[in-house]
Amino acid sequence: MKQICVVGVGYVGLITAAGFADLGNRVMALDIMEEKIEGLKNGIMPIYEPGLEELVERNVKAGRLNFTTSYADALQNTEFVFIAVGTPSGVDGEADLQYVGAAARSIAENMQDYLIVINKSTVPVGTGDWVAGIIESHQPKPIPFSVVSCPEFLREGSAILDFQNPHRTVLGSLDREAANKVAQLHLSLRAPIVITDLRTAEMIKYASNAFLATKISFINEIANICEALGADVKEVAVGMGYDKRIGQAFLNAGLGYGGSCFPKDVLALAHMAREKGRHPQLLDAVMDINGDRRPMAVNRVKEMLDGSLKGKTIGMLGLAFKPNTDDMRDAPAIDIANALIAAGANVRAYDPVSMEVAAAILPSVEMCDDPYCVAENADALMINTEWNEFVHLDFPCIRDSMKTPVIFDGRNLYEPEDMKSLGFKYRGLGRGYNGSTTEEK
């Protein structure tokens, strides 16, 4: 039985490795960072993802999943190598391909036999050809290989479920036979498989993420207009979403998209367009709207506190960019906390899992043990992340312990009427009709 090698044990790599092992394959997960591999060998996950520890443990025990830092070991008797390393944003918003390039070079130097090299990382259109060039030029002796693009569509927080229940598998290659072999690996996932050329597959990933980001900026713009016109964006989204051409998903108004993918991918797609002399008008607007969400949140809190943040204590519920993850990459809470502090406020926060990561990024923010400690004597509470555990808090207790009962709900987690009847001065986003009575308090 040939094995699969996955290069990179970040979100995408580790879930891909454990996911394929769980489907019965023998998988070698490789990373050049010794401490990550050592940790994994001892059952320590480098990231937080629900269900991951159990999945890894089960497959390690069954002997299907192993970890190494050695390309030479990992590529022995291997037919499929997934590249799943990071592609951060470079200085001009372009994707930084240094880790992909380094992985391709190491693969070239250590491969012994025919290999199918599969790009999982989100890479600019044309990277598949570039990777093929690197492998060709770094092989000590010519050994045949094929390059296939197989972009990931995993969401943090539900990445394992997404791996096991994909909406589709996209494969791109100039070598149809190689693409068909990779398709075989995915057959048991029972999702439609789209086989196309390399560049089109790479573009499908960017276009998908850019479309989802557009949906978010669209609903955020509608939220702004709803507020001005006295309509309720939550109900607008429900009413729109029943149209099958629109759908309910990704129509939650909020603090804008963050995380490791959307900000970077929309920027990279716009950069690719500009490099070729195109004007990515829509993508620019999507980023512009998203960029306004964080300062808007700070201004709202300021307005609710009668125009001044100086000396005020603001409690934040949620720091991670979204629930069920400890990921703080491009989390709106970072910019918001920094802006509040710059305006003279004291900031306290609680997040169910990201506080350790967040404390290093936000050293001036006081981390609290629970939402009630955040609320005590605070001038206002802000909801940054819609964690489930914030839905049913003891609000009378929170109200009584706050200095002033003010809530700015950046995720529309609560109903304006409920909050008003509990005695809070409450504002959500785009809740014009229901929210307006409280806004004018």
Helix/strand/coil (H/E/C) assignment for every residue in 212-262: HHHHHHHHHHHHHHHHHHCCEHHHHHHHHHCCCCCCCCCCCCCCCCCCCCH
State both tokens at 49: 């993802």
Query: Taking CB under 6 A as the rule, does residue 368 contact ligand UDX?
Result: no
Separation between Cα atoms, residue 139 and residue 67, nearest integer Å: 24
Q: Which lies closer to ligand UDX via its Cβ, residue 267 or residue 345?
A: 267
Collapsing DSSP to helix, strand or coil, 181 comes out as helix
- Shortest distance in whole angstroms from residue 367 CB to ligand UDX: 21
Among the options 5, 150, 226, 261, which is catalytic? 261
Q: How far is the CB of 163 from ligand UDX (least distance, A)?
A: 11
- Residue number of the CB closest to ligand UDX reads 261
Binder among 216, 223, 266, 375 for ligand UDX (CB under 6 A): 216
- Draw the binding track, 173-212, toward ligand UDX (x: CB under 6 A; -: no contact): ------------------------------------x--x
Residue 405 vs 430, nearer CB to ligand UDX: 430
* Binding map of ligand UDX across residues 271-310, x = CB under 6 A, - = no contact: ----------------------------------------
DSSP 3-state assignment of 411? coil
**Contact window for ligand UDX (CB under 6 A) among 16-24, 47-55, 256-264, 396-404:** 256-264
Does 252 bind ligand UDX (CB under 6 A)? Our answer is yes
Asked if 65 is part of the footprint of ligand UDX (rule: CB under 6 A), the reply reads no
For ligand UDX, the closer CB: 121 or 146:
121
Asked if residue 18 lies in contact with residue 55, where contact means CB atoms within 8 angstroms, the answer is yes
**Chain mean position to CA 422:** 34
Residue with tokens 């004007």: 279
Mark the segment that binds ligand UDX (CB under 6 A) among 154-162, 238-246, 274-282, 370-378.
Answer: 154-162
- Return the residues of window 318-357 that contact ligand UDX according to CB under 6 A: 321-322
Please confirm, yes or no, whether 261 is among the known catalytic residues.
Answer: yes
Distance CA 255, CA 245 (A): 25
Is 262 one of the binding residues for ligand UDX (CB under 6 A)? Answer: yes
CB 24 within 8 A of CB 64: yes
Mark the segment that binds ligand UDX (CB under 6 A) among 36-44, 246-254, 334-342, 367-375.
246-254
The set of residues, in sequence order, having a beta carbon less than 8 Å from that of 385 and lying 6+ positions away, is 317, 318, 319, 320, 321, 322, 323, 331, 333, 351, 411
Q: Which stretch binds ligand UDX (CB under 6 A): 174-182, 191-199, 247-255, 346-354?
A: 247-255
CA–CA distances in Å: residue 352 to residues 7, 126, 325, 426: 30, 40, 9, 23
Contacting residue, 79, 156, 227, 232, with ligand UDX by CB under 6 A: 156
Tell me which DSSP letter residue 83 carries: E
Q: Is 259 in the site for ligand UDX (CB under 6 A)?
A: yes
Q: Does 261 bind ligand UDX (CB under 6 A)?
A: yes
- Find out whether 74 and 68 touch, Cβ atoms under 8 Å: yes
Number of residues that bind ligand UDX (CB under 6 A): 19
d(CA 345, CA 304): 14
Closest listed residue to residue 41, CA positions, set 186, 145, 31, 286: 31
What residues act catalytically?
Answer: 261
Task: List contacts with ligand UDX (CB under 6 A).
Answer: 152-156, 209, 212, 216, 250-252, 254, 257-259, 261-262, 321-322
